[in-house]
Structure 1
Amino acid sequence: MTHADHRPGDMRATVRETYGPADLSSAPVFAGGFINFGHWRPGDLDGPPTVEDRIRSQRDLYRRVLDAAGPLGGGQLLEVGCGLGVGCALAVAEYGPSRVTGMDIHPQQLERARRANSGLLDGAGAGRLRLVRGAAEDMPFGDGEFDCVYSVEAAQHFDDLALFAAETARVLRPGGRAAVTSFFAADPGAAPLLAELLDTFAKGLDIARPPSELTDALARSGLAEVRCESIGARVWPGWDHWLSAQWEPGTWPRNFLLAWERGLLDYYVITAARP
């Protein structure tokens, strides 16, 4: 069964394994429980990469996305593909929402997220965070329930960006905003080359699509002010610098930088608003 044959709510086998038994969040390369490539500062490239720099880069990628969504104080926020929920916890701590809902398709990830965020779920902060199982293409929420829908480095896994865009538009209230960051292919023709360079594309964990597939879908879904900004210069060199301490040149994870330098893929922040 290909990713195009899946029904909303299904998981491809590679997604089920990577975020289930394999527990990608436990890999040292994703220190701190975040699972993203990071938004790096220029000075991070000057010396040996540190775990502290790595964790800060991942937190800064969340801040980059949440800042792009505009003022969030008092709002209802939804993170699509929340993983361990550490980004949700950052949003609760730093952006003053009334509540953050973290949604993920993988039940094992959600169980880990509940353990990692028990204080926000059950302690003094109870009610500030809730965790829900659901798919990007079939969100289990009512119309107009959220002031902001955001997603950090998960859209490359979504089976159907058009359904994700339609669901995002549906669950946003009028005046609400969406902010998505992920990596996308330069164009559909880049897919075979990316599969040659990068195991995650070869194995189907990541899907090679241009950013226009999402921006066009958001516009068709009725969202306005659709914008797409490249942030690759703040992602790929820092990510490769961090990898250099753990992976040899020529190994496939180092090829993300090579793919960017060849113009095969880039990293973007995409935003939109519901009129």
Structure 2
Amino acid sequence: MTQEDRPEGMRATVQETYGPADLSAVPVFAGGFINFGYWRPEDLDGPPTVEDRIRTQQDLYRRVLDTSGPLSGARVLEVGCGLGLGCALALEEYGPDLVTGMDIHPQQLDRARRANAGLLEGAGAGRLRLVRGAAERMPFEDAEFDCVYSVEAAQHFDDLGLFAAETARVLRPGGRTAVTSFFAPDPGAAPRLAELLDTFADGLDIARPPAELTDALVRSGMADVRCESIGPSVWPGWDHWLSAQWKPGTWPRNFLYAWEQGLLDYYVITAVRPR
């Protein structure tokens, strides 16, 4: 991808990670959902299988979609859809009329079209669409969606204020948003996170407190804004899975350490657009 092809706001690290490097093909993200997973206590009892890993990634989507209210017959948007596998899960299990997957990276969208060819071209054609766009500049009409959700993508967004404003704009009155990702509870944690974790050092992930998003949602006119930590269901399981592939002391194992030190946590943030 040339500089001219790169959408405005897509940093070089995002371009590389989700383009030529293809994070979805990395073994730790088996199944292609590209998230840390939502783990049950029993998942930590023995060596996790690939099937376990895929289910935990699906369960993180379910954790978010379950907070979004009834979705049967709804028009739903996923921001940062990656390969679109979460979109397919939403269609299969939650019964919306239409799911739109939006991603800033054209190579990810190409992979998503291949991964979901059956949905895009088969009997269910018309229920899934894949659109290129940025979280801060969504290419949609006002009040177009009943639900906007995002799974482990907000740590990449350049401007959470613009994302919140766009989310409020494209939601219909009464519509809901649910965002899950990792944030830094301590606003001063960025330098330490950069020391511990390569993804913060190279700028792929941005260290911001969850209040940066919750406050932005309030400023954008959203109501019933809530923020819940789900760290105990993410970090121990993620490290348990990593332990089969990464030795202690290697940088990916520092995610658990950062959580234990209060430098990082995982949240579900929800809000409603008032009627």
Report the TM-score when normalising by structure 1: 0.97
Name the structure 1 match of 2:251: 252
Name the structure 1 match of 2:235: 236
The CA deviation at 1:187 is: 2.0
Matches within 5 A, 1:205-244: 205-244=204-243
Name the structure 2 match of 1:130: 129
Residues 117/8 of structure 1: CA separation in 2 closer, same or farther (3 Å cut): closer
User: Structure 1 counterpart of 2:97, which letter?
Assistant: S
1:272 partnered with 2:271: yes
1:110 partnered with 2:109: yes
Q: State the alpha-carbon separation in 2 of the partners of residues 206 and 220 from structure 1.
A: 24
Query: Do the aligned residues in 2 keep the contact of 1:8 with 1:138 (CA within 8 Å)?
Result: no
Q: State the alpha-carbon separation in 1 of the partners of residues 237 and 228 from structure 2.
A: 18
SS at match of 2:177: strand
Name the structure 1 match of 2:99: 100
SS at match of 1:78: strand
User: Structure 2 counterpart of 1:142, which letter?
Assistant: E
Q: State the alpha-carbon separation in 1 of the partners of residues 106 and 48 from structure 2.
A: 33
Name the structure 2 match of 1:64: 63
Name the structure 2 match of 1:120: 119
Name the structure 2 match of 1:52: 51
Report the TM-score when normalising by structure 2: 0.97
Query: Do the aligned residues in 1 keep the contact of 2:186 with 2:262 (CA within 8 Å)?
Result: no
Q: State the alpha-carbon separation in 2 of the partners of residues 176 and 121 from structure 1.
A: 26
Q: State the alpha-carbon separation in 2 of the partners of residues 70 and 250 from structure 1.
A: 41
Q: Deviations over 1:72-114 (max 9, x none)?
A: 1100000000000000000000000000000000000000000
Name the structure 2 match of 1:3: none
Q: State the alpha-carbon separation in 2 of the partners of residues 114 and 51 from structure 1.
A: 24
SS at match of 2:31: helix
Q: Deviations over 1:137-183 (max 9, x none)?
A: 00000000000000000000000000000000000000000000000
The CA deviation at 1:9 is: 3.7
Name the structure 2 match of 1:4: none
Q: State the alpha-carbon separation in 1 of the partners of residues 210 and 14 from structure 2.
A: 21
The CA deviation at 1:8 is: 8.0
Q: Deviations over 1:194-226 (max 9, x none)?
A: 000000000000000000000000000000000
Q: Which ranges of structure 2 fall in alignment gaps of 5 or more residues?
A: 1-5
1:193 partnered with 2:173: no
User: Structure 2 counterpart of 1:268, which letter?
Assistant: Y
Q: State the alpha-carbon separation in 1 of the partners of residues 66 and 105 from structure 2.
A: 27
Q: Deviations over 1:226-256 (max 9, x none)?
A: 0000000000000000000000001000000
SS at match of 1:32: coil
SS at match of 2:212: helix
SS at match of 1:239: helix
- Percent identical across equivalent pairs? 85
Residues 121/26 of structure 1: CA separation in 2 closer, same or farther (3 Å cut): same
Query: Do the aligned residues in 2 keep the contact of 1:9 with 1:134 (CA within 8 Å)?
Result: no
SS at match of 1:166: helix
SS at match of 2:161: helix
User: Structure 1 counterpart of 2:179, which letter?
Assistant: V
Cα RMSD for the two superposed structures: 1.0
Query: Do the aligned residues in 1 keep the contact of 2:7 with 2:104 (CA within 8 Å)?
Result: no
